[in-house]
Each structure stands twice: as C-alpha cells, then as structure tokens.
Amino acid sequence: MAPVIRKLLIANRGEIAVRVARTCREMGIRVVAVYSEADREALHVRAADEAYFIGSPPARESYLRVDALLDVARRAGADAIHPGYGFLSENAEFARACGDAGVIFVGPAPEAIRVMGNKTLARQTMAAAGVPVVPGDDGGGRGFPDAASALAAAERLGFPVMIKATAGGGGKGMRLCADPARLARDFDAARREAKAAFGDDTVYLEKFIDRPRHVEIQIFGDARGSAVHLGERDCSIQRRHQKVIEETPSPAVDDALRERMGEVAVRAAKAIGYVGAGTIECLLGTEGHFYFLEMNTRLQVEHPVTELVTGLDLVRWQILVAAGGALPLAQEQIARRGAAIECRVYAEDPVKFLPSPGRVAALREPSGPGVRVDTGVEAGSEVTPFYDPLIAKLAVWHESRPLAIARALRALGEYYVGGIKTNLALHRAVLAHPEFAAGRYDTGFLERHRSEIQPAALEGDSLDVAIAAAALDADARRRASSTSSDGMMHAENGKAAALSAWRQASLTPKRR
C-alpha cells in the first residue's frame, strides 16, 4: 500500500517554497517551512503552517545543513521533504539520508541522482542507452591531471572546446576556449570555480557546437516503470550560461523533431529507472541535430511554461509519484495548447549582471488573463546578498507565440519594483527585438546583440520616482518603529504615497 503524505517539509526558500506550499494546500497536505536568520520575515515562512529556524544566513550554515533539516522533519512529524531546486535538490547523500530517516524524498532515487549528477558518468550512461551526446573527452573517466593533458585532448577534438565541471551546473566551472594558447589559463580557472562551487575540481571537455540552441525535454517517471515527456522548452536566452527567458514550444522544433527528442528523453529516463520530475537538456544544432547535454534530476525553475501549455500541476505529479502512485496520464493523454514564455526577474544590475540586494520599497505585479507571477518577495521584503538574486518569475500564456510575446510585453510594462535594480528592462528589450520575435536566436543572442538591447539609464521622472519611493518607505519605517497605531498608519501611508507617485509617472505620456 502506497504511503500517505500528510505533512511535507520544504527544504528551500523564496518563490519555489511558496510555489510548492500552494500545491500542498490544494492537496490537503500541511506545510513545514525552514528559514535562516536572514529569512525570518520572508514570504515563504508565512506561506507554511509551521516554520522552524535552522541557522545563520550563509547557505552552508542553514539550507545546506542535512542534519538540521532532518531534525526539523523529525520534530515536525513530516512524512516527506520537497527539496525545490538548488541547495540540496540534486544531492544524492541528502536523498539517501531522507530514506534512512524514514522520510519520503520528493525526487528520484539516490543512485539516479548520483549517476546523472556526475557529468562524465551521465554521458557514458546516455551513450550506452543510444542517446546522442556531444563529442567530448573526460580523461578516461578520471578527469585530467593537468592542463597539458587537457590540451592534448582538446587538440584531438578540435578547437573551440568547452571546459566543464564534472559536478554541478548553472554555468559554474565552465569556460569556452577557442585558442590553444589560452587553454591552460581557462583550465585552471574552471577547476578553481568548480572546486569553490561543488567541492570537486574535476573537469571534462566537449566539442563546442557553434550557435546552438539550448532545448530541454521535461520528463516524468514513476516507480512502476512508466515514463512520459511533456514536450520541450527553449532556454537559449542566457547570460553567462544561466537562463534568463524560456519558452514553449521552441520556435526551432517542429512536430517531427519534438517526437524524436521526446522519444530519446523517455528512453534516457527508463535507462536509469527514473522516478519523479527530470529534465533532459540538449544542444540543438543549426542542422536540426541534437545532443545530450546533461540531466537535471529535479524540478526546473522554468516549469511554469510547461504547466501553462499542458494545464498540469507538476508539483502535484511529483508528490503523487513520490508517494508510490502511478503517473496520472499516459503519453497519448498529454495535450499541449498555445504558447508560454517565462521571464526570470532578478535583483541585479541589468547591464553588469551583478546582484542588487536591498529592500523592495514598492511593488506592483502584473495580472490579467494568462499572466502568472511566482514570487518570494513583497513590498518591504529584504533581498539579501546570501542567496540567488532571483526574486520572481513572470510567465504568460496565449494561443500563439506572437500573442504570447505581446502579452508578456504588456505584463512587463505593468511590473514595477522599487528600491532595488532589476532586469525588467532587459526582458522588455529582448522580447521587443525583431530577431527574438522571428524566433531566430541561440545561446549567444545576448552577447551578440548587447549594444542593441542594453537597457538605457532610467529616465529622469522614473529615477525621481524610484528615489522618492525608497525615501518614503525608509521614513515610514522609522515612524512605524513604535508599536502605536499612529506609527502603523504612517507606514501604510508611506507605501501608498510611493505607489501613487509611480502610477502618476507611469500613466503620464512621455513628452519628446
């Protein structure tokens, strides 16, 4: 008899913790949150039924503490742990520790995480299953002892090559090298970054595919041996190897190619007995050839676009499958309709791509038909420097790609975040670019069109409003430092005044 999940601990924070909590509430599952010192007042804490303190702001002292998380699960009486993405979501030892503690890990088995988390082992496993992989060299499965051996391998593959960390992802420990004279420097830099990010400095080489698209296939498997795919997502709009905008369906994938890629993705999942949500990431060349890149053994940041075109709740599927249930639908029952686009809203300088921590002085989120905002912040929230600067995801759906782009631009025009810098202007510039509108883009799009889409500095009136909003908010907080109702009234009036000022400026036609 399948276990019943009545209470679930979310081992994460921010927008994904809020997202998981919402599905749990719909399923009648009680939610347990965890928080660091920096997140005491965070939105995800209030989204839960119970919340437990787990440590200092640095992730290694809080969200990466397996002992603290399992202790909370024990004290709270949690039946299951959902890892979200990032942190411990792809940590095989954490998944194993959950099982040893008698807690359901909402994700794949530890062995699947281990195999697919090691990029060289994943390549070997996929190649053995008949999945096409990018030509590469992993140093005989042991990595390269020094730059000289890596240079010899790169010369056999032919330049340019990608130097990539064996463990981890997210663009860390990755370098593109086109010049043999630079390989030693790039090799050492990739190893240092990999060691700092993942505790493992092993790297391997891949032949660089010129102007590729990054296309991934969403897969699901259950413990009964079934697996399905839910179509593709195009994640080619990236900066520094990290995704910024995702969409489905991909403008570069027709029905025949989609069927081929889906069949390969399902074959890959079945080859490792995969259970839960996963993503087969591929590089798609200009000739329509695709190659296995890596597998993410977790829910992806961009899962909302798949949910919008399929009408399915992927977190609900994760929980059902983790509890031993069968996949809710067979492949032929999964239908896709329309087009969806997701914009990752980061607290960062849109020109330098550097984090921009601070307090959200004012916030107005878009709404209306086909608009979804997954967020972990609200007006007054503090965006700290300790974690990823992603603060929200704006996802839109419409019946066709051109209409979805128009809807996304409308929603972006309504979106306002005061007090910190964001990349909203970058999203507007990309979506309005004629090459993006035509679907002619690849992973080098942002760098190639940098001068055309670099957001201009805020215009005078908008800058004045942003400054005024921050000043009003700071003043309101000083006034509200007492517990008097008078102080609280000043705080609310300050926020209202800031928002009113922005509305007046944003709704006034610009005079040229």
Radius of gyration of the chain (CA): 23
CA distance 426 to 351: 8
Tell me the sheet residues that pair with 329.
Answer: none
Q: Provide φ and ψ at 436, rounded to 5°.
A: -65, -45
Going from the C-alpha of 354 to that of each of 137, 388, 420, 498, the distances in angstroms are 33, 11, 12, 26
Per DSSP, helices labelled H in 88-161 are 92-100, 110-117, 119-128, 147-157
Count of beta carbons in the 10 Å neighbourhood of residue 287: 6
Spatial neighbors of 441 by CB under 8 A, at least 6 apart, are 213, 236, 237, 435
Per DSSP, helices labelled H in 272-375 are 303-310, 314-322
Half-sphere exposure of 103 (CA within 13 A, CB side): 29
Task: Pick the closest to residue 412 from 422, 402, 427 (CA basis).
Answer: 427
- Structure-token match 């990290």, residue found: 242
CA distance 465 to 445: 32
Lookup: tokens for 318: 């994760």
The verdict on whether omega for the bond into residue 57 sits within 30 degrees of 0, i.e. cis, is no
Of residues 298, 372, 401, 428, which has the active-site annotation? 298
Count of beta carbons in the 10 Å neighbourhood of residue 1: 4
Task: Pick the closest to residue 82 from 106, 60, 66 (CA basis).
Answer: 106
How many H helices and E strands in the chain? 18, 21
CA distance 443 to 3: 43
Contact 445, 429 (CB under 8 A): no
CA distance 292 to 282: 5
DSSP assignment of 13-81: -HHHHHHHHHHHHHTT-EEEEEEEGGGTT-HHHHTSSEEEEEE-SSGGGTTT-HHHHHHHHHHHT-SEE
Contact 461, 505 (CB under 8 A): yes
- Is residue 30 annotated as a catalytic residue, yes or no? no
CA distance 448 to 444: 6
Which residues are the active-site residues? 298
